[in-house]
Amino acid sequence: MRIVLSSDHGGVNLRREISQLLTDMNIEHVDMGCNCEGSVDYPDYGIPAAEKVASGEFDLGILICGTGIGMSISANKVKGIRCALVHDVFSAKMTKAHNDANMIAMGERVIGPGLAVEIVKAWLGSEFEGGRHANRIGKIAEYEGKSNL
């Protein structure tokens, strides 16, 4: 499994925590930044990372900004991306099980690193249930004009 990580300036610290977690879990990952000191624009980091998941270069992606909201909105503009804004462990499990979320977004100004680590573990440790949920995802894909899930 290959995971891409990206954040704006509001998510640098949490992104580094998650990168360390993935290293500790022996999960291959690439950190796309930002390596910024000042303010940057989250779409400039969220969209390129989402494109790498949509293209299949990476299996999953984790995006972080101040709230996670800008990153999740940006990523979900990319065809084939199902990015869930997640700030609790239950939602992290469910968004894999029911939505087959291929990206999650979190807010460094919303949750602490301890909870963020548990969220990532829960998401990675869950399986898509398929069945009726695949049918629902298929309807989203159909709407966005992408039928090859």
Q: How many residues does the chain have?
A: 149
Residue 65 sits in the site that holds ligand RB5 (CB under 6 A):
yes
User: From CA 36, how far away is CA 13, in angstroms rounded?
Assistant: 11
Q: Which is nearer to ligand RB5, 10 or 61 (CB)?
A: 10
Q: Which is nearer to ligand RB5, 70 or 137 (CB)?
A: 70
Tokens of 118: 């548990």
User: Near ligand RB5 by CB under 6 A, which window of 27-35, 66-74, 113-121, 134-142?
Assistant: 66-74
Tokens of 60: 């999953």
User: From CA 93, how far away is CA 45, in angstroms rounded?
Assistant: 25
Residue 61 sits in the site that holds ligand RB5 (CB under 6 A):
no
Q: Is the backbone peptide bond immediately before 36 cis, with ω within 30 degrees of 0?
A: no
Please pick, from the candidates 8, 31, 51, 100, the single residue that binds ligand RB5 as defined by CB under 6 A: 8
User: Which residues contribute to the site for ligand RB5 (CB under 6 A)?
Assistant: 8, 10, 42, 65-67, 69-70
